[in-house]
Amino acid sequence: MLHQVLQCFNGTPTAHLLLKTISRKGITKHISTTSYCKIQEEVSKLLALKAQLNTEDAAPQKFTLKTPKGTRDYNSQQTTIRNNVLQRITTIFKKHGAECIDTPVFELKEVLTGKYGEDSKLIYDLKDQGGEILSLRYDLTVPLARYLAMNKINTLKRYHIAKVYRRDNPAMTRGRYREFYQCDFDIAGQYDPMIPDAECLKVVTEILDVLDIGKYILKVNHRRLLDGMFEACGVPADQFRSTCSTIDKLDKLPWEEVRTEMINEKGVTPEAADKIGEYVRLNGSTELADKLLEDARLSKSKSAVEGLGGIKLLLHYCELMGIKDKILFDLSLARGLDYYTGVIYEAVLTQPIKIGNEEQTIGSIAGGGRYDNLVGMFDSKNKQVPCVGVSIGVERIFSVLEAKLAAGDISVRTTDIDVYVASAQKNFLDERMKICAELWNAGIKTEQSYKKNPKMLNQLQHCEENGIPFAVVLGESELKRGVVKIRNITTRAEEEVSRENLVEELQTRIEKLGLKEMNGPVA
């Protein structure tokens, strides 16, 4: 029987351990029937374990090679589009005095728990890695609040561009992923009402104007007004947040479906739901705020009056900044995240985007609001640092531009090379390398063929395919006369210039072309 056990693990550390144990214990040949049965049972378990080990050690099964669900790769053209968009956004953030920070891609789970309302179920949890329960960051706002509280920072104007993760149902063609970029701009500190809030709206309009992907409107509302509206309509205070998350679905669902969810799932009475429905269909500007201040129900709610006063002040500041015509006071805007306490806003495109021969509807492309209590949640003394910010939905912007690229509506250069050093004859590698080094040392973006004797046609074709504007063409007779040819790839015109003045000539031509703008209007 023992021989059978040892055979199961022949040649393994387990077999050596069994032999050592048998020798130390002095096991005899005389084994009772009961013991034999127990050993037989253990042998069966060991055999099953061996079979499992053999299965694990077997050759891996074939699998489909792909990226995980809700993620993607970016090719060189897509990456160029992305980098150019992010660069333009960063320029505007810096124009408004924002500083850049970074935080870990994962946080302690308790940092993220309880901050996102119903969306908390979308947080990616990680396995225990040595005593810390961690989760991937869901957004960049909660990590900012943790950063401010941990470092005892009271004032900060910051921007942060990084990837976040959500276990959501992806819609890849519409720019909805599980791993995606967020571009955040936030102002932290104790300031007078609505001044930093209005600047955040101004930042959004500047970004959407410079990217020029379509006509848009910035919807604004106020959490205090929503709370007052729910109170006036008869919703219990403990149902405000859950009701708010349902209202937030009005941009995707018709009112009847939202009403049904409020009643059947959130416990709102039909009468209260109908009263809410009267308000969430309203939108306008300062005139609407004035009208609501005289409303019989809302005028009795302190929260609603406070929210309407904030909206009026915000619209006044937006008028001073010249953006009021792009702002819409919309009572259906709710934004479901729990941490918002004041003004909330969201940018949406007002018309479908025409891409090739098709039109695509794009959802929200920016959103944000005021969150005055979030930092205090992480402070041992509950010290509050009021904050307001905005997040740009760049993935949806990327998806629009990539679709335009595929339709041939825009083109991109994937490299920034200004000059290609070519040779029309054989045995010019040494001279090509000297000129490349000279141009590199002068700060000119340059490349050449990696073949000793490349064909002239292939070299010029490479320039055309990659949008390289100039080629320096070397020839035996020209070099003997101390000159080289500069070829304009677009016009195909060639001009001889002195070899000694090559750097200065190229720098002048590059400057005249304005190559900083050669990547196209957005791409």
What mean pLDDT comes out for the span 321-337? 91
Helix (H, G, I), strand (E, B) or coil at 410: coil
- 100's tokens: 């850049």
Model pLDDT, residue 413: 86
Predicted confidence (pLDDT) at residue 239 exceeds the cutoff of 70: yes
**pLDDT of 435-467, one tens digit each?**
999 999 999 999 999 999 999 999 999 999 999
Q: Is 80 annotated as a binding residue?
A: no
**pLDDT of 112-140, one tens digit each?**
988 877 778 889 999 887 788 999 999 99
Report CA-CA distances (Å) from 179 to 105, 134, 165, 172, 416: 11, 17, 5, 11, 28
Model pLDDT, residue 283: 92
Predicted confidence (pLDDT) at residue 508 exceeds the cutoff of 50: yes
What mean pLDDT comes out for the span 304-331? 96
- 330's tokens: 């919309």
* Strand extents, DSSP E, 362-474: 364-370, 387-392, 419-423, 446-448, 470-474
Residues in a beta bridge with 38: none
Model pLDDT, residue 408: 81
In sign, the C-alpha dihedral spanning 273, 274, 278, 283 is positive
Pairing state of beta strands 419-423 and 470-474? parallel
231: number of Cβ within 10 Å: 19
Model pLDDT, residue 129: 74
Model pLDDT, residue 53: 65
Answer whether 137's CB lies under 8 Å from 164's CB.
Answer: yes
Q: Is 140 annotated as a binding residue?
A: yes
**pLDDT of 337-393, one tens digit each?**
778 999 999 999 988 877 667 777 777 899 999 999 999 999 888 899 999 999 998
Among candidate residues 316, 346, 342, 314, the one with its CA nearest the CA of residue 332: 346
The pLDDT-based confidence of 521 (bands split at 50, 70, 90) is very low
Longest pairwise C-alpha distance within the chain: 107
Predicted confidence (pLDDT) at residue 512 exceeds the cutoff of 80: yes
What mean pLDDT comes out for the span 201-217? 93
- 372's tokens: 């005055």
What mean pLDDT comes out for the span 222-241? 91
Average pLDDT over the chain reads 87
DSSP codes joined into one string, 256-302? HHHHHHHHHTT---HHHHHHHHHHHT-EESHHHHHHHHT-TTGGG-H
- 433's tokens: 């390398």
Of 169-173, 282-286, 466-470, give the lowest mean pLDDT range.
169-173
What mean pLDDT comes out for the span 292-314? 95
The pLDDT-based confidence of 35 (bands split at 50, 70, 90) is low
350: number of Cβ within 10 Å: 9
Q: Is 2 annotated as a binding residue?
A: no
Q: Is 139 annotated as a binding residue?
A: yes
Report CA-CA distances (Å) from 237 to 30, 54, 266: 77, 60, 12
Q: Is 507 annotated as a binding residue?
A: no
Q: Is 176 annotated as a binding residue?
A: no
Q: Is 335 annotated as a binding residue?
A: yes
